[in-house]
Amino acid sequence: MKQVLTRVYSTLYRHFGPQYWWPADSVFEIIIGAILTQNTNWQNVEMAISNLRKAKLLHAKKLYLLKTKKLAQLIRPSGYYNIKAKRLKCFLKFLFNNYNGSLSKMLNKDLLSLREELLSIKGIGEETADSIILYAAKLPIFVVDAYTKRFCQRHRLTDINASYAETQKVFMDNLKEDARLFNEFHALLVRLGKEFCLKTKPKCKECPLKN
């Protein structure tokens, strides 16, 4: 298994090169994006974030003070905008109630404590929490998303209905515990997924892993 993963990683890296994830200008933007991208095309998320940027609202305090209704309208292109506005507000309430709005204070703790805290916030599940831990806090946890699961299922690294935790374990038990590696590997799987074999209807013609 270790060798399989190593070969997959090096093949993808050779093919695509570094992905420079997470695509965002700030830690705050990473977290907002992580919530907005739940079951949503990243292109739509970019439109929503662009709206916030144009309105100069990409700051914790500003969003914290913004009415939920107004926030919902701004993030409309990301879909599920009512529920996502509530989720963003829920996160911001947590941030201000517990850390006086300081992201660095919130993120500056050990991985398991941070994960537990994030999961206690309504609207933040395992993937969103792990994305924040890996890409915002830069701590070594492997992010499992739809592409990651499909990858593991189709390559028989897990069984067909493996849980989030089981899928995550495949990577974490067989790779060096290294945030930089986890970052690049997950980003490469998403890149592969968007372009080739990990869509719900796979198009594997030119998949880099074909051999």
Using the minimum distance from each CB to DNA, give the nearer residue, 2 or 55: 55
**Near DNA by CB under 7 A, which window of 16-24, 53-61, 94-102, 152-160?**
16-24
Angle (CA) 149-4-21 rounded to 5° is 55
Query: Collapsing DSSP states into helix, strand and coil, what is residue 97?
Result: helix
* Binding flag, residue 33, DNA (CB under 7 A): yes
* Binding flag, residue 70, DNA (CB under 7 A): no
Q: Give, as one character, the DSSP assignment of residue 77.
A: G
| Rounded CA separation 40/195 (Å) | 16
153-157 long-range Cβ contacts below 8 angstroms, 24+ apart = 154/197, 154/198, 154/202, 155/4, 155/8, 157/1, 157/4
What is the nearest approach in angstroms of DNA to the Cβ of residue 175? Answer: 19
Using the minimum distance from each CB to DNA, give the nearer residue, 3 or 155: 155
**Near DNA by CB under 7 A, which window of 93-101, 104-112, 118-126, 170-178?**
118-126
Q: Supply 140's token pair.
A: 């070594």
Angle (CA) 20-138-89 rounded to 5° is 95
Work out the angle between the directed axes of helices 146-154 and 179-195 (0-180°, nearest 10). Answer: 80
The single residue among 13, 16, 47, 94 that binds DNA, judged by CB under 7 A, is 47
Q: How many residues lie near DNA (CB under 7 A)? A: 44
* Binding flag, residue 151, DNA (CB under 7 A): no
* Binding flag, residue 6, DNA (CB under 7 A): no
* Binding flag, residue 142, DNA (CB under 7 A): no
The single residue among 50, 73, 102, 163 that binds DNA, judged by CB under 7 A, is 163
The single residue among 52, 77, 185, 197 that binds DNA, judged by CB under 7 A, is 77
* Binding flag, residue 184, DNA (CB under 7 A): no
What is the nearest approach in angstroms of DNA to the Cβ of residue 85? Answer: 8
Sign of the alpha-carbon torsion through 133, 136, 138, 141: positive
| Rounded CA separation 139/35 (Å) | 18
Give contact residues for DNA (rule: CB under 7 A): 21-23, 33-34, 37-44, 47, 76-77, 79-84, 121-129, 131, 135, 145-147, 161, 163, 190, 193-194, 199-201
